[in-house]
């Protein structure tokens, strides 16, 4: 031990007077042993911990699919009120995987957002964008009303009052052989610009779209949308 | 001669065994004597090989400050609430089926058909509320008695972790009956979690195992509820108790140290 503790001792074990030191040796056998035992322990731990972690985190990165599902003939719907239709969001789990969509035909007098092949039929998701309770379309008022905390949306699903942070989500729709089909859900901002599906409570106006980035798990939008 | 010396319980003199008369122990040991010694022998045998008695004595026979009162039992009460939840939970797991299509039915079976099922489920359901209440009362006791101050800050931190874990248990357990209330409460709870900026959406995906409440959400909550968090709580309670035994408990704040008992400054 050097007298001055800040003075660096020689890196060579031979210079430090280690018994049995080899010429040019810098790592003592004790340090080598300690290091390899800790290294092997870390290797053994990560051999089970990393796959387990990946296993638990997998669904975050796995893209889900939303197949097109038919909700009825075009003639079943009109352009001045909504018709409720039950759609399956997650298959195989019974009622827990189903939700209601409110469907009507596009009405050029009301719907000012740009027209394309996916909004000839308007399908509004009933998931309230405050915290996810199911909203209900109230015919007399022509508004969507959430029972939980009083969120109110107008006829187009735009937020009119209460705590919701963005308009009601929508479904991509298409008409195939005279039948209306619903595809993946998407979220919209207050100008009805489309974004990939966000969870409720996540605004998409202003810095909201940066604070709540798109997820890896939401279904892909249909080609051309 | 037993090695283990524990304080003798305060038995009335009439019930205490009489010492043998001189010369009487030369005779053969009677079976009754051997039977009374058997328990001590077993404990001695274990203690000789583990030295556990020292730890038990360290843990249980501590000096407590003057003024210790019933408020000091809230921590133990919370721990017993946890033990009750653990035991009833293990037995509920024998009947419960964490599948979205059968969970409600299995809970219905436990409540209406299984022998004592309603009672055990009731213990677990109401006991969860009791545990949360006791944890908060214990926290309040610690705060108002100033028992979080040096050197016990780390125990306060561990206690806060235990509080968070208890709330995690409440949140994940609430889904398991899988009725309308459970389902929507979980939807709302996960969405509140999702409003955290930047990582909130990904945390929600992790909790639900996907972008929507899906096929494995229930089993995921079940695994967190009955395996992950209870293990963490048990480990944290161990650390909490170790620090309580090591640091001792505080006197209530209304007891002032007398001047002659004050520590003297040596320098």
Q: How confident is the model over A130-156, as pLDDT tens digits?
A: 999 999 999 999 999 999 999 999 999
Candidate CATH numbers 3.20.20.70, 3.30.2350.10, 1.10.645.10, 2.102.10.10; the one for domain A69-211? 2.102.10.10
Q: What is the pLDDT of residue B155?
A: 97
pLDDT per residue as tens digits for the range A29-54? 888 999 999 999 999 999 999 999 99
Of the listed ranges A9-18, B52-61, B232-241, B256-265, the one predicted with least confidence: B256-265
* pLDDT for position A57: 93
Q: 3-class SS at A76?
A: helix
pLDDT at B35: 79
**Is the CB of A93 less than 8 angstroms away from the CB of B101?**
yes
Of B187, B201, B209, nearest to A212 by CB-CB distance is B201
Residue-level length of chain A: 225
Model confidence band, residue B2 (pLDDT cutoffs 50, 70, 90): low
What is the C-alpha separation between B24 and B117, in angstroms, rounded? Answer: 57
pLDDT at A75 over 90: yes
Rounded Cα distance between B115 and B256, Å, is 55
Average pLDDT of span B9-24: 74
B25 falls in which pLDDT band (50, 70, 90)?
A: low
* Distance to chain A for B165, nearest Cα, Å: 19
Cβ(A203)–Cβ(A48) below 8 Å: no
A199 touches chain B (CB under 8 A): yes
Q: Is-contact A131 B192, C-beta < 8 A?
A: yes
Domain boundaries, chain A: 1-62, 69-211
CATH code of domain B70-247: 1.20.810.10
Residue B197, min C-alpha distance to chain A (Å): 5
Measured distance CA(A107)–CA(A119) in Å, rounded: 10
A62 touches chain B (CB under 8 A): yes
Task: Break chain B into its structural domains and give their ranges.
Answer: 70-247
For residue B250, CA distances in Å to A100, B80, B223 come to 59, 22, 38
Is the Cβ pair A201, B213 closer than 8 Å?
Answer: no
8 Å CB contact between B135 and B78: yes
DSSP labels, A149-211: T--EE-TTS-EEESS--SPPPEEEEEEETTEEEEEEEEEE-TT--EES---TT---STTHHHH
- B239: which 2 tokens? 């650390």
Q: Model pTM?
A: 0.85
- pLDDT (average), residues B245-257: 90
Q: How high is the pLDDT of residue B267?
A: 47
pLDDT average, residue stretch B147-155: 96
Q: Name the closest residue on chain A to residue B178, using Cα atoms.
A: A96
Contact (CB, 8 A) for B197 and A211: yes
The ipTM of this complex is 0.86
Q: What is the pLDDT of residue B21?
A: 75
| pLDDT for residue B224 is more than 70 | yes
Alpha-carbon span B161 to B159, nearest angstrom: 5
Binning pLDDT at 50, 70 and 90, where does residue B39 land?
confident
Name the least confident of B7-21, B190-204, B224-238: B7-21
């Amino acid at each position: 031990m050097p007298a001055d503790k800040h003075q660096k001792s020689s890196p060579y074990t031979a210079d430090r007077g280690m018994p049995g030191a080899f010429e040019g040796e810098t790592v003592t056998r004790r340090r080598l042993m300690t290091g390899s035992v800790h290294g092997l322990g870390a290797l053994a731990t990560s051999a089970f911990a990393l796959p387990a972690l990946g296993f638990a985190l997998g669904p975050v990165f796995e893209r889900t699919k939303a197949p097109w599902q038919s909700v009825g003939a075009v003639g079943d719907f009109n352009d001045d009120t909504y018709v409720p239709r039950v759609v399956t969001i997650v298959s195989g789990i019974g009622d827990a995987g189903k939700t209601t969509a409110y469907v009507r035909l596009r009405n050029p007098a009301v719907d000012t957002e740009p027209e394309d092949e996916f909004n000839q039929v308007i399908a509004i998701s009933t998931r309230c964008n405050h915290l996810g309770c199911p909203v209900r379309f109230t015919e007399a008022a022509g508004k969507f009303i959430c029972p939980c905390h009083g969120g109110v949306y107008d006829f187009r699903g735009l937020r009119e009052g209460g705590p919701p942070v963005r308009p009601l989500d929508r479904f991509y729709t298409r008409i195939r052989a005279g039948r209306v089909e619903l595809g993946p859900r998407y979220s919209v901002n207050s100008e009805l610009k489309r974004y990939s599906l966000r969870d409720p409570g996540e605004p998409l106006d202003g810095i909201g779209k940066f604070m709540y980035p798109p997820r890896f798990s939401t279904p892909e939008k249909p080609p051309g949308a | 001669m037993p090695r283990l010396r524990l304080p003798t319980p305060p038995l009335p003199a009439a019930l205490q065994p009489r010492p043998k008369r001189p010369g009487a122990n030369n005779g053969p040991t009677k079976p009754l004597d051997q039977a009374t010694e058997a328990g001590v022998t077993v404990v001695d045998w274990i203690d000789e090989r583990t030295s556990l008695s020292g730890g038990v004595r360290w843990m249980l026979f501590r000096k407590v400050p003057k003024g210790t009162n019933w408020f000091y039992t809230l921590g133990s009460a919370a721990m017993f609430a946890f033990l009750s939840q653990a035991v009833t939970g293990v037995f509920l797991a024998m009947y419960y089926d964490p599948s979205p299509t059968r969970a409600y039915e299995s809970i219905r079976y436990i409540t209406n058909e299984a022998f004592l099922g309603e009672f055990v489920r009731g213990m677990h359901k109401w006991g969860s509320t009791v545990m949360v209440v006791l944890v908060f009362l214990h926290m309040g006791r610690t705060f108002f008695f100033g028992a979080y101050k040096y050197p016990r800050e780390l125990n306060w931190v561990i206690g806060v972790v235990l509080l968070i874990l208890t709330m995690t248990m409440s949140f994940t357990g609430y889904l398991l009956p899988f009725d309308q209330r459970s389902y929507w409460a979980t939807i709302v709870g996960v969405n509140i979690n999702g409003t955290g900026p930047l990582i909130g959406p990904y945390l929600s995906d992790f909790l639900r195992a996907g972008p929507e409440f899906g096929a494995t959400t229930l089993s995921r909550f079940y695994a967190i509820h009955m395996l992950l968090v209870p293990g963490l709580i048990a480990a944290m309670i161990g650390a909490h108790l170790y620090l309580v035994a090591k640091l001792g408990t505080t006197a209530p704040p209304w007891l002032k140290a007398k001047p002659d008992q004050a520590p003297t400054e040596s320098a």
